[in-house]
Structure 1
Amino acid sequence: MKAITITKYVKKTLLLSLSMMTIGAMAQDDEEKSPFSLSGSIDGYFRTTGMDAGLGTTATPTSFANQTGFALGMANIIGSYEGASTGAVVDLVFGPRGTEATFNNDILNGVINQAYAYWNVSDKTTLTVGRFNTWVGYEVIAPAANFNYSVSYLFSNGPFSHIGAKADFTLSDDVSLMLAITNPWDTNDISTSGIYALGGQLGVYGQYLNVYYDGGGQGGLGFEIDYTGGFDVSEDFFLGINAAYNDNSETETGFYGVALYPQLSTSDSFAIGLRGEYFQPTADAFDPEGVTAITLTGSYTKENLIIKPELRLDSSDGLFLDGDGAPSDSLASFLIAAIFSFD
């Protein structure tokens, strides 16, 4: 399983901009910025399900933020060098969220989230090689860039990161195209099978159609098509949308689902948002039940600190256990998270 909801921003643009922020001038000219930059975040949370001491299920079948009591998320440190036309980014993660995001199977015990070099061939074309976070899905690994603190089923069951090469093309002010060739999903170090994955993203006026294909063999994900977008309903109200379909012909499994992200800003420092999701696994061998998850999150910002109280209700026929260990159709949880970002 892999693991703001981006309000008015595309997640890939946000992550890249975070990695390119500068930390001050190093040259004698005060207006000249250093090519080096450093940014990152730390986060932790308290979570309860009301039956933490019983025999019931306390974790949702999604990634991250599944501990009860006080827990650490991760420390995230992003260093970058930006030259005239080339550069590099190293994104390091430490802690449970980072370990789960990297599957703890890379060098340094899963510390490297991203490590890539890029070349701005022109003002409309960028080539990137290395390890980079996925273009598929609405949410991201770093909690500072999501509106909800816990993550969705769609995000948890898709890819997290890829190692390979990609090319980004700016076709116009409102249209973009990305093409990629990578190792198969969940094969972040090497591809021993001789099979590689293909992917792409078409962006049109802030709406993104994402595709990924690796054939489904050797533990691959198979084929996934994903729509990520949203609309400013008003100056203070944003509606985000994510829908995806996945099919793995090798394992005869897959899924489909949709998630809506209405978010309302009530002031410069506070916003409230809801994630309503329906997720349906598919398989020829059995008929799994779908999952409905409703997540209500508040977001209060004070300088670089974000406080997020969150109430979540997951429902599915017999998927969970109650406090006596008997099958239950639902799981309710409450958490409050603190996220500090720096640049």
Structure 2
Amino acid sequence: MKNFFACLLLFTTFTLSAQEKTEIPKKKFTFGGSLDAYYRTNFTAPNDDNQIAPATSFADTAGFSLGMANIIASYEKGKIGGVADLVFGPRGEAASATVINQLFAYYNISENTKLTIGKFNTFLGYEVISPTGNFNYSTSYLFSNGPFSHTGLKADFTLSEDFSLMLGVFNQTDVTEFNPDGSYAVGAQLGYKSQFLNLLYDKAGLGFEIDYTGGFDASADFYVGINAAFADNEGEGFYGAAIYPQYSATESLTVGLRGEYFQTQSDLVSDDPSVFSVTLTGSYVIEEDLIIKPEFRFDSGSEDIFIDTDLMATKSLGSFVLAAIYKF
């Protein structure tokens, strides 16, 4: 009898051990997204022409307008997973040629190495397509002139507690569904304590761009974000810098400023135009999901790039945006 119980105990231990080794990975499905709309008006220009707006992406229509509806579904099972990110509305249409904002699969080879293939938003820059990822509702010149998305393969490496590295090969910048000419772009990102140095070389598209994105906490309630970039494609390109100080007045209210200098460059133009832009934004959160953002913006160019209320060319434009963003 003792031998019987000993054998039974041994068998039970072996069975439990085998079950642990062959345990089926848990499946994890998440679903979320956002909706946004806004009202925009010019102080120093007519409001009956949608083109009288800063030469940046999104939030450029006078009166009441829609932003985008964003639906994100993700699935994960063990080391593998995938994300489908769909967008609808003017903001999504301007950022992507299709409703597919992002569509990619990934494989966590180890705790420190992750492979991703598909379409994903760019790793360059401080701002992103979705308004939920930006403090300011209107976007910067640096963001608007850089890449939006890439389609290709990238590898993310966690080198240490402080350092990270990304290497990738992509189709031509913002060509998301096919490769039109057989050319490819390559990119890299080196991260150190939330400071990122980004590189992209795309000979057939954007050309070469180097970009720094980061920031620091000046205090518990005061944060300063920083973005600087330089791009060149055979004598055509741009450079500039933007600073993003943000102060949290309460748990619900944050006030932030974006100050940006942006300069185009061309071998064909002797005096390239530049612009200086200041954007003051308030962000008020209602019950964690609804964000109200009033925003005052002033753009000043080195040349007459805007129109005033008398329909005369002028160097500056003052405008106001009131946006509502709902996250779910």
TM-score, normalized by length of structure 2? 0.89
- Amino acid across the alignment from 2:239: Y
1:35: how far off?
A: 1.1
SS in 2 for 1:294: strand
1:326: how far off?
A: 1.6
1:128 to 116, 120, 131: 116
1:225 to 185, 210, 232: 210
1:288: how far off?
A: 2.1
Aligned partners of 1:56 and 1:321 also within 8 Å = no
Larger-gyration structure (1/2): 2
Aligned partners of 2:27 and 2:78 also within 8 Å = no
In the alignment, what sits opposite 2:264?
281
1:33: how far off?
A: 7.7
1:53: how far off?
A: 4.2
1:205: how far off?
A: 1.1
SS in 2 for 1:100: helix
1:78 to 58, 62, 72: 72
Q: How does 1:256-295 map to 2 (within 5 A)?
A: 256-286=239-269, 287-295=271-279
The CA deviation string for residues 258-284 of structure 1, in whole angstroms up to 9 with x for no partner, is: 000000000100000000000000001
In the alignment, what sits opposite 1:18?
none
The CA deviation string for residues 119-157 of structure 1, in whole angstroms up to 9 with x for no partner, is: 000000000000000000000001011000000000000
1:117 to 95, 98, 105: 105
1:99 counterpart = 2:99: no
1:337 counterpart = 2:323: yes
In the alignment, what sits opposite 1:154?
142
The CA deviation string for residues 144-200 of structure 1, in whole angstroms up to 9 with x for no partner, is: 110000000000000000000000000011110000000011322212211100001
C-alpha spacing 1:86/1:42, structure 2 compared with 1 (3 Å): same
C-alpha spacing 1:169/1:285, structure 2 compared with 1 (3 Å): same
The CA deviation string for residues 62-121 of structure 1, in whole angstroms up to 9 with x for no partner, is: 00000110000000000010110000000000000000000x2xxxxx100000000000
1:180 counterpart = 2:163: no
Aligned partners of 1:245 and 1:256 also within 8 Å = yes
In the alignment, what sits opposite 2:294?
309
Which blocks of at least 5 consecutive residues in structure 2 are unaligned? 1-24
Which blocks of at least 5 consecutive residues in structure 1 are unaligned? 1-31, 105-109
1:42 counterpart = 2:35: yes
1:327 counterpart = 2:313: yes
C-alpha spacing 1:256/1:127, structure 2 compared with 1 (3 Å): same
Aligned residues: 300
- Amino acid across the alignment from 1:114: Q
C-alpha RMSD of the superposition: 1.4
SS in 1 for 2:304: strand
Aligned partners of 1:91 and 1:115 also within 8 Å = yes
Alpha-carbon separation, structure 2, partners of 1:46 and 1:88: 35
1:58: how far off?
A: 2.2
SS in 2 for 1:154: helix
Alpha-carbon separation, structure 2, partners of 1:35 and 1:332: 47
Aligned partners of 1:310 and 1:335 also within 8 Å = yes
In the alignment, what sits opposite 2:12?
none
In the alignment, what sits opposite 2:224?
239
Higher relative contact order (CA 8 A, sep 6+): 1
In the alignment, what sits opposite 1:13?
none
TM-score, normalized by length of structure 1? 0.85
Aligned partners of 2:48 and 2:62 also within 8 Å = no
Alpha-carbon separation, structure 2, partners of 1:142 and 1:194: 30
- Amino acid across the alignment from 2:272: P
